[in-house]
Chains A and B, each alone.
Chain A
Amino acid sequence: MTRLAAAFWVLLVLASGFTTFMVKYAVQGIEEQLYRVRKQTIAEQQEIRVLTAEWAYLNKPERLADLNRRFLGLVPVTPHQLEGRIDQIAFRAPTVPPVMPERMVASAAALAPAPPIPAAAMPRAPAPVAIVTAANPPATPPAAAASAATVDPLDALIAQVEANGLEAPNPAGAPQGAAPQTAHAASHSPLDALLTLIEPATASAAPIAAAPPQPPLRLAKVSPPPRSLSALIARVAGKP
């Protein structure tokens, strides 16, 4: 019995010793691996630093200017190329106009919290006549103003003009009083884009910006978008 116990303990000692050494060697192997990885990491970091410096060197303005002279021939921007700002450009009108009665148009606009079209989602520079940026914020938010337009468009228009202290544009010389024109008076509000979407016929004739004074826009004239698929096809076909 004593011998058996002794043998058991001896075996246990041997086994535990063996396991310890196995684990130890495994750890050693992993540590070596770690060492290599770390060494490589440092080498890569060193490399990144060199490449960053090289990238900076390659981006030397002198060198870029020289490359430009040789390959591109770009010249400095002149002031007249910069006339007009991004917020003076109207959003593009859609090609397929949905047909909706006027009353529905305005109420739909009033209900929609944010027009779910990409154009309206675009970030906008502070527009000169945007209601939200007016010196005195109007009591009614744009959407509410538009819903008021359903009650009496002309009243709403006058109220807005008074609130903003700005001249109301008279798009395309059309007589005032109709709902679409009311919408244009509130142009540059988030509504604008939606209403443009809904009313492409008047949108193409809408003013680009309502801010006086208005610097001339030196942009290529874009012909109004075709109003229907057949018109589009006709236009495409008409071009050589």
Chain B
Amino acid sequence: MLSAQRIDPNPCRPRHFRPPPLCAPVVADERAATALEICRNRMLAAAAVFVVVFLVIALRLVDVVLLPGAAAELRLPGLHPAVLPLPVRADITDRNGELLATNLNTPSLYADPRQVIDADKAVREITSVLPDLNPAELRAKLTSEKSFVWIKRRLTPRQQYEINRLGIPGLQFQQEERRVYPFGNLTAHVVGFCSIDNNGLAGIERALDKRIRQSREPVQLSIDTRVQFVLREELQKVISDFTAKGAAGIIMNVRTGEIVAMVSLPDFDPNHPGRFDHRLPPAEAKARLFDKVTLGDYEFGSAFKIFNTAMTLDAGTATLTKMYDAIHPIHIGRFTITDYHGKHRMLSVPEVFMYSSNLGSARMALEAGGDRQRAFLAKLGLLKPVPINFDELATPQFPSHWREANVITIAYGHGIAVSPLHVAVAVSAIVNGGILRPPSLLKLAPDQVPAGTRVISQRTSDEMRKLMRLVVEHGTARFAEVPGYVIGGKTGTAEKNQHGHYEQHKLRSDFVGAFPMNDPRYLVLTMVDEPHGNKASHGYATAGWTVVPMTGRIVQRIAPILGVPPVDENSPAIVQAMTLKSLQGKKVENY
């Protein structure tokens, strides 16, 4: 039992509480005294509780009223600073700043199945607004035990409105960023596309995925959409004119290695890539994703004579005046090598090149030797993937044992398969004075242009330019001639190698050219897959009738865009720069 005397020494007692004086009249009634004591103790406890509560209230008051920030943060969530939350992926633009890929916020529809009351009714109503949903799948989703299921992502605002109007309980929207490609098919293979969760899956989106996620600065490509459009339109035209299976093309700045346009047809809409494109059968949709320019390996046929001739001229085993036998066929193993449109006489090197003589080329290569040939192709980067920041890259296919038969066929572009990008890069080096630069899909500032490595001498490059000009003047590519732009190049027509043998009626025609040939600035490589001759081409489907005229049209359209002024090709300076001494004054026989 407590007494006042026992409380008194407590040092923690409140000040206002004074114990009864010791001299107070002693209450006779022990019970009354005890009751009083208990009462006092309870009051003390209650007072303590109140003190604590008021203290808390006071502190909270100070916190809420006087200290700034805490409350404001609660009321204004996520609005500091007043800028749009950064997109999850940076924009991609072309070299002139045209928007090729950007992000837009779109609503996505999800459901909490536990809140859905009538699943059957909900399925009926939702499919009436979103008819492409599978009712059975949707029903399974809405009756599942989960608390979150996606119903459809990336709705249009109109669809969102319609769903809202249905008023189905348990359906919710979430804003999600969606990658949008305003130019659609135009740059499909270059820019690539993203998964629904914004992971880069193809093209630049994949190659620069990290950079696009981390930095918000737009990625500026070297592509010029205007040039890209011209290239794509002309390739489409050649496909429809010659009922071809596909086509590909690339336009490159030979001085910097920047790729100005790159098209592979048929292509796809990156807004609905691959299997998401329901308008096409799955196999077809998948085939369209294939980038012929970077990922395809092809035998380029006679266009390889550029490398063969450059190799022999640079090594010094051939000179422009040397004559080669184009009379006698070459027999090797069970094969006999002849010329397509043989001249059946001795041909000089310019003639071998201009008339595209397989025999002459083979003999030039044999003279130089297989080791030299292989080393030269390796130096041009034709035996390994192209050094470019891109994921879909072809690994060249070439014989592991470089036998004599291989030397012969590789001289005229058979038995070795490389991507169009390989050829474009290597030919750029041949015509630009002999400097091999890695290609770039990103716009380069003048000080970013790589120094490159010398692969052939300036003299060989000059000679090669003259030879390539000759092909357009007198050889197989006469339809490429456009007054003012001094185009030069080399055609190639290869029979397609299917299941180990060559199909005579399945051709692949290609042309690689550059302009202006007196001082090349741009290279145009075009290729068409399985063209069929038509009336206008007199039934021919060779390069000279398909891709060559197209290249002329392309050059005529893109040169003003790219700022290449036309020149007078009959002016003494250009005639002198483009004429071979060995042919000077001679009448050149046309192909």
Contacts and interface: CB of A to CB of B under 8 A. Distances in A.
A41 B566 contact: no
A50 B180 CA distance: 10
A77 B563 CA distance: 12
Given A53-B180, A56-B182, A80-B484, A46 B226 contact: no
A70 to B, nearest CB: 16
Instruction: Give 8 nearest A-B pairs by CB, closest first.
Output: A79-B484, A61-B229, A56-B182, A38-B82, A56-B99, A79-B566, A57-B182, A45-B84
A35 interface: yes
Contacts of B186: 60-62
Interface residues of B, number: 41
Nearest to B573: A213
Contacts of B225: 61
Nearest to B561: A77
A78 interface: yes
B84 to A, nearest CB: 4
A215 interface: yes
Looking at B66, B104, B182, B572, the one whose CB has the most chain A CB atoms below 10 A away is B182
A31 to B, nearest CB: 6
Contact of B571 (A62, A80, A213): A213
28 contacts: A20-B65, A31-B72, A34-B76, A35-B76, A37-B82, A38-B82, A41-B82, A41-B83, A42-B83, A49-B102, A50-B104, A53-B180, A56-B98, A56-B183, A60-B183, A61-B226, A61-B228, A61-B229, A62-B184, A62-B229, A65-B233, A77-B560, A78-B556, A79-B482, A79-B566, A80-B566, A82-B565, A213-B568
Interface string A35-75: 10111011001100110111111011110010000000000
A103 B75 CA distance: 83
B98 A82 contact: no
A79 B485 CA distance: 8
B555 to A, nearest CB: 10
Nearest to A82: B566
Interface of A: 20-21, 24, 27, 31, 34-35, 37-39, 41-42, 45-46, 49-50, 52-57, 59-62, 65, 76-80, 82-83, 85, 213, 215
Given A83-B566, A213-B572, A42 B84 contact: yes
A19 to B, nearest CB: 11
B497 to A, nearest CB: 35
B180 A215 contact: no
B41 interface: no
A198 to B, nearest CB: 33
Interface in B369-421: none
A38 B75 CA distance: 13
- Most B CB contacts (10 A, CB to CB) among A24, A27, A49 go to A49
Given A61-B186, A76-B557, A52 B82 contact: no
